[in-house]
Amino acid sequence: MMVKAAEILESEKSSLGRLMTTEMGKTLRSAEEEAVKCAWGCRYYAEHAERFLADEAVETPASRSFIRYQPLGVILVVMPWNYPFWQVFRFIAPGLMAGNVGLLKHASNVPQCALKIEEILLRAGFPEGAFQTLLIGSGKVDRILEDSRVEAATLTGSEGAGIQVGSGAAKRIKKVVLELGGSDPFIVMPSANLDEAVKIGVKARVINNGQSCIAAKRFIVAEEIADKFERAFVSTMQSLKLGDPFDEKTDVGPLATADAVTSLHADVRKTIEAGAKLLTGGKPVQGKGSFYEPTVLSNIPTNSPAYREELFGPVASIFRVKNAEEAIRIANDSRFGLGASAWTNDKSEQELFINELEAGMVFINQMVASDPRVPFGGVKRSGYGRELSTYGIREFTNVKTVWVK
C-alpha cells in the first residue's frame, strides 16, 4: 500500500504540484519535487520498516530477552502549510508502517492538500480511517488531544503552537514530538569554496520562498573573506527572479499570506531602526501578490528581530567574525537549535563545529536538508523528538522489553 502511494505521488506530481502552488505559493518546480520526495519517503519505509521494527535480542541471563516495537495507536498530526505534502508524509511513511493511524489537522490555508493526502492513501489501498483529514480550526486541537483514543501527537509549527500542544499532551501524559522554529546559522570560514558557499547559501535562504524552518537565516562569515562573500551574496540575491510561481523561470514566488508580508516587513524595519545596514531589498513588492524583495541585512544589533527571531521569508542577515570560536558563539546565541551549516575545508574546524554547534543537525559544506535516511529534529526551543530514519519510526512505538525465563 505504501509503494502504491509512492506510485500515485510520482505519476501525479504535476497535478499535485499545481495544487500545492495554488494554495501556498511555492514555485511549481519545487512543488513537483516535493511530491517526488514524498514518494521517496514512502518507498524508503516500505523497504526498511520491517528491519527497523524487528525484535532486537539482548544478552541477559534469561533464556530469551529482546525488545519489541509495537504501535501506540491513534496519533494526532498537526502540520503547517509551508511543505503541505512533505511535512505530512514525514509522519505517514514511518507512522503508518509502524502500525499507527493518523488524524491530520492541517493548516487552514491548505485544505485541498489535506483532503488530497487522505484520498491518495485510500486509493493506495489503506483502509478507511487509517488516515483521516479533519477540517477544523486550531481551537479544537486540544479537545481531540483530550480524547482517550488519541495516544500521542506530532506537531511541526511555531513555538506558540508547540507550547500549546506540548502542554496539552503533558497534562494528559501523552507522548509528543515537536519540530518548531529555527534560526539556522550558515558559517563560512576562509578555507571554504567561496563561490559554492555563496551559491548554496542563497539557495538555502530563499528555498520555499524563504519559508522553511531549516532555511539558512544567519550568515556568519570570517572577517578575512567577508567583503568578497557579501558582494557576491548581495549580487546573487539581486539577480533572483520574483514572479508567478507557475512560471518555470521564477526563482522566488509569493509568501503564503498577506499577513506574512506585513509581519516580515515589520521585523525588517525594526532591525534597520535598531541600527542594521540594509544592503539590498527591504520592502514588499507593490502590485498583485504577497511578494517581498530578496533582502540582505548586515551589522545586526543584538536587540533586533533579525538577531533574536526567525524571519520567515527571503531575508538574510550577515555577521562578521574573527575566528571559528566567535562564529560558534554567535551561532549558539539563539533560543533555537534546529539545523546548522558550516563551510570549511579545515578538518579541525569541521570537528569543532560538529561538536560545539547547538543544533539537532550539522551539515558541513552543504545546506541543511531533510532526508529519510537520517534523523530530523532540533534542540532548545526548536523542539524535541525525531522524525525520519530509524529514530522517527520508533518515536510512536511502545519500546517493549520482553524477558523469558
The pLDDT assigned to 267 comes to 98
The pLDDT assigned to 373 comes to 98
The pLDDT assigned to 219 comes to 98
Q: How far is Cα 264 from Cα 315, in angstroms, rounded to an integer?
A: 9
C-alpha cell belonging to residue 396: 510512536
Q: How far is Cα 346 from Cα 41, in angstroms, rounded to an integer?
A: 34
Listed residue (377, 366, 405, 371) closest to 389, CA to CA: 371
Q: Rounded to the nearest 5°, which phi and psi values hold at 155?
A: -135, 135
The pLDDT assigned to 173 comes to 98
pLDDT in tens, 167-205: 999 999 999 999 999 999 999 999 999 999 999 999 999
Q: How far is Cα 339 from Cα 341, in angstroms, rounded to an integer?
A: 7
Residue length of the chain: 405
Alpha carbon distances (Å) from 237 to 88, 216, 331, 359, 405: 31, 14, 22, 26, 66
Averaged pLDDT, 353-362: 98
Secondary structure class of 244 (helix, strand, coil): coil
In 235-291, the DSSP E strands lie at 277-280
Averaged pLDDT, 241-256: 97
How distant is the alpha carbon of residue 116 from its chain centre? 21
| Greater pLDDT, 288 or 205 | 205
Average pLDDT, the chain: 98
Name the H helices within 247-388.
Answer: 258-273, 305-308, 324-332, 347-356
The pLDDT assigned to 126 comes to 98
Sheet holding 315-321, edge to edge: 277-280, 295-298, 315-321, 216-222, 184-188, 339-343, 361-364
pLDDT in tens, 122-180: 999 999 999 999 999 999 999 999 999 999 999 999 999 999 999 999 999 999 999 99
pLDDT in tens, 92-117: 999 999 999 999 999 999 999 999 99
pLDDT band at 323 (very low <50, low <70, confident <90, very high): very high
pLDDT band at 121 (very low <50, low <70, confident <90, very high): very high
- Partnered with residue 315 across adjacent β-strands are 295
pTM of the entire predicted model? 0.96
Residue 129 is given by DSSP the state: T
The pLDDT assigned to 99 comes to 98
pLDDT band at 222 (very low <50, low <70, confident <90, very high): very high
pLDDT in tens, 13-71: 999 999 999 999 999 999 999 999 999 999 999 999 999 999 999 999 999 999 999 99
The pLDDT assigned to 182 comes to 97
Alpha carbon distances (Å) from 208 to 254, 284, 347, 354: 10, 17, 32, 26
Sign of torsion over alpha carbons 56, 72, 387, 122: positive
399, 390 contact by CB (below 8 A): no
Angle among Cα 84, 127, 77 to the nearest 5 degrees reads: 35
The pLDDT assigned to 48 comes to 98
The pLDDT assigned to 30 comes to 98
**301: number of Cβ within 10 Å:** 16
Listed residue (142, 130, 187, 138) closest to 169, CA to CA: 142
44, 15 contact by CB (below 8 A): no
Share of the chain above pLDDT 70, in %: 100
Catalytic site positions: 179, 213
Q: How far is Cα 257 from Cα 109, in angstroms, rounded to an integer?
A: 9
The pLDDT assigned to 141 comes to 97
In 161-251, the DSSP E strands lie at 175-179, 184-188, 216-222
